Amino acid sequence: MRISELSRATGVPIPTVKFYLREGLLHPGQRTAPNQASYDASHVRRLHLVRVLVDVGGLSVAAVRSVLTALARPDLPLHDALAAAHTALPRDVAAVDERRAAARRETDAWLDTRGWRLDAATPARDDLAAALAALRQLGWEVGPEVFERYARAADAIAAEEIAYVAAAPDREAAVEATVIGTVVFERALVALRRLAEEHHSRTRFTG
């Protein structure tokens, strides 16, 4: 398969395929001559994965590279592969000021009470603290307990997700399911929450 066929098979323009090759998001093809190479199904699959991460997950090229790097380490235990995928995902966290630091201490303490076994440096902790700090900035005098309902829902979802991953036929499938699950189902969850909000809003506020 030459580059034009790869492009046609995936819908990705040739210049973009070249760009991904340069950026290391796509492994080089099998060289057949100094200026010829042939691509196969693995390249098609990889391109699809890259586009899903970029288009659906909203990941930057750098973030995609990090995720792919994590995927490519067959030595990594499953749990660490998931952690690597999470760390590679974007988390545009602003500077840590006093307000944010206080929020972080409180959310950490609250997370402890929930009984979750978490790494002390997990990036999602910052995101949660940022959410609390934002609420306070806007005048909501709340504590981390406002997240209780969300935490219970997240716990139920995550339990099933991990059970699903654990049932994967092999390690590679499990790791890939982890990455795809994190990115794609996150998007789906967000969409479903908005749809559910619309439903309840209509039910409650309209005649």
Partner DNA sequence: CTATTGCGGATAGTGATACTACCCATTAGG
Partner DNA sequence: CCTAATGGGTAGTATCACTATCCGCAATAG
Question: Which residues contact DNA by CB under 7 A?
Answer: 2-5, 13-16, 18-19, 21-22, 28-29, 31-39, 54, 60-62
**Partner that binds at residue 24, options DNA, a copy of itself, none, CB closer than 5 to 8 Å by kind:** none
Whole-number Å distance between alpha carbons of 80 and 70: 9
79 binds a copy of itself (CB under 8 A): yes
> How far does CA 122 lie from the centroid of its chain?
14
Which is closer to DNA, CB of 52 or CB of 78?
52
Length of the chain: 207
The nearest distance, CB 35 to a copy of itself, in angstroms, is 31
Site string for a copy of itself, 8-27 (x = CB under 8 A): ---x----------------
Categorise residue 95: left if φ over 0, alpha if ψ from -120 to 50, beta otherwise: beta
Whole-number Å distance between alpha carbons of 204 and 207: 8
Whole-number Å distance between alpha carbons of 106 and 110: 6
The nearest distance, CB 34 to a copy of itself, in angstroms, is 34
The nearest distance, CB 73 to DNA, in angstroms, is 22
196 binds a copy of itself (CB under 8 A): yes
Whole-number Å distance between alpha carbons of 90 and 67: 10
The nearest distance, CB 207 to DNA, in angstroms, is 38
